[in-house]
Chain A
Amino acid sequence: MAIFDRRRVPAPEVSIPPIYEPLVGAVDQQEAGPSRRDRTNDEARPIFLKTGLINQANGSGYIESGGVKIACSVYGPRPKLPPYTPQGTLNLEVKFAPFASDPRRAPLRDTEPIPLSVLLTQSLIPTLQLHLLPKSSIDVYLLVLESDTPTNVLSAGLTVASAAIADAGIAMNGLGVGSVVASSSLSSSGSDLAKPSSASLLLLDPSEDEEKASESKVLVGSMPALGRITNLFFTGEAGINEACDMIEKAITSSRDTHTVLAQSLLEGAAERGIGAETATT
């Protein structure tokens, strides 16, 4: 039973995304193995991060990382509605633009944003000092403009949310950043690329195809400056040692992301003429 949506321009009840004719020839290449062509296995895709683009908000950030584009704005700390809370409240909403993924996300039929919001809230809470903000709320809104996989959205979302909160001038314990590592078992064709000690291939910052082909993946949210993990989200099947390797690798890469994040915050502050002293020292 479809819910009738009175708040949007009506669309036909049923519409299906275009079905393409079967691929000829290219199939063999895709299934040739998990080896990468454009970058090494330990190399993440470049990140573009900029703060302060949304001037209506207290703080904001925009990130492009791999196949993900997210805009994030932070309002607060602002007064919260009556039920008294001795601590501050973090309200976080992840919203997908309908065109942000393939196939289209029809409004009201999309169930994914809620669990993503919950996971992201969990990753962010350890970075904040909510006990200093009684009766207030911090509202963090993320708008996904383009996405490939939910894991990459979470990883980029955590990084951009930290950037936006820091841009809003809200005190934090540390900057949270996300990183993803996927593990693929080696098929016969890819064995020559593997490290001799491990039986599977660990790929940092996997693309959509790589993630689909992988056996397991881990998303690590961490505060590299403090050497602490804020969230660990592991799915799939892997040996204990392999899982540890994956986490290790994710943490190593999150240090690089942290550098990018810190740099963009300094640039953002310098552009608006605040904290120019810190940028020069």
Chain B
Amino acid sequence: MAAVASSSSSSSAAGPSHISDQLTSASSTAPSSASAEVFKRLHPSQYLSRFLGKGYRPDGRKVGGWRDVSINVGSISTAHGSSLVRMGDTTIVCGIKAEIAEPTAQSPNEGFVVPNIDLPALCSPNFKPGPPGDEAQTYSNWLNDLLVSSRTIPPESLLISSAKAAWVIYIDVVCINYDGNAFDAAVLAVMAALKNTRLPTARYDEETGRTICSRTETHPLTLGRIPLSCSFGIFESTHLLPDPTAYETPLLPTTITVALDSEDVGVTCLIRQEGLGGTVGKSGERVLGEAWNAAEARVRELRAVLDESVDA
């Protein structure tokens, strides 16, 4: 505890190299790259703030920059539709499986959409094996809310025969490599997979009470709004950081998520701010406005990548 206090007080007086020297002198054999690694671990928020002071993020992008995105669709043959999204190092796979169920008595003309996000122990040392943890459950609910409120898959379009049979669209999102901002990547993966999905043409047989699917005829899903999400974090009430990584996320007490319709970025599908808004000298609304503007530009970019990958 004392060591931490002394080094942080000296950090305000001297530059980062001084701290590094102190740390290396403590373990005299460590080379300088190792001491930077030690500093990164022991003082994560100072490490980040040094970078931000120079206008960059620890992964090399500008403070207001986003990570590169790539999308691959249709690589999983056991699914009706699938996609693989990489956002920086965050890697997400989404697979869509369709099954048939009887509609509920309350809404006999509607099918079902069941989205779930899993963050398995595989993707990060912070997750444990077993059923979905808190973060995964939260994301699943956010995703469900987003899909329902923006009517991405209108439930009436999934009907095969009224009160008898309807499609259930299982949307399963699995994270393979967790480097922060899994929600944005998951939303993008879901949209790409939905666009990639083809369902067999189904017919309900009144006599046998069974639904039979065609082997040859397929059709794409009827899709409504395609929302895309952009997340931000606020660091030490000074910096608005888009697309935070796994290293930055625990240092950001405030997070902002803005989801906009990809067809018309003027239409907002979701805005969520968790934690205290605003930065030093700027009001909460102004920061939210900045985030919103940045999100508009980003959604246009994501839309272009999405269209390119789905058409290819």
Contact = CB atoms under 8 A, between A and B. Distances in A.
Given A56-B178, A97-B172, A16 B100 contact: yes
A21 interface: yes
A27 to B, nearest CB: 12
Interface in B196-226: 200, 202, 210-215
Contacts of A23: 215
Contacts of A18: 98-100, 200, 202, 211, 213
Given A9-B116, A20-B212, A53 B78 contact: no
Contacts of B78: 99-102, 146-147
Interface string A45-80: 000000001111100000000010101110100000
Contact of B168 (A11, A55, A146): A11
A20 B79 contact: no
B123 interface: yes
B161 to A, nearest CB: 14
Given A14-B101, A17-B99, A18-B100, A53 B177 contact: yes
Contacts of B93: 97, 145
B179 interface: yes
Contact of B170 (A11, A14, A67): A11
Contacts, number: 141
A8 interface: yes
A98 B170 contact: yes
Contacts of B120: 95, 141, 143
B174 interface: yes
Chain A binding surface, main DSSP class: loop
Contacts of A143: 120, 122, 174, 176
Given A11-B170, A55-B177, A93-B129, A146 B77 contact: yes
Nearest to A62: B176
A150 to B, nearest CB: 14
Contacts of A20: 200, 212-215
A17 B125 CA distance: 35
A8 B214 CA distance: 31
Chain B binding surface, main DSSP class: strand
Interface stretch (B13-21, B61-69, B136-144, B233-241): B136-144
Residue among A14, A93, A143 with the highest chain B CB neighbour number at 10 A: A143
Contact of A8 (B116, B168, B213): B116
B114 interface: yes
A101 B212 CA distance: 20
B292 interface: no
A55 B91 CA distance: 10
B215 A99 contact: no
A99 B95 contact: yes
Given A14-B102, A56-B177, A102-B78, A97 B213 contact: no
B196 to A, nearest CB: 12
B141 A9 contact: yes
Nearest to B203: A21
Contact of B172 (A17, A75, A99, A142): A99
Contacts of B212: 19-21
Interface in B242-273: 246
Interface in B124-149: 124-125, 129, 131-132, 137, 140-141, 144
B82 interface: yes
Nearest to A12: B101
A21 B114 contact: no
B304 interface: no
26 contacts: A11-B168, A15-B99, A18-B213, A19-B212, A21-B213, A54-B122, A54-B123, A55-B179, A56-B178, A56-B179, A57-B125, A72-B122, A75-B125, A93-B121, A95-B129, A97-B172, A98-B116, A99-B76, A99-B95, A100-B78, A104-B170, A107-B116, A107-B131, A139-B121, A142-B122, A143-B122
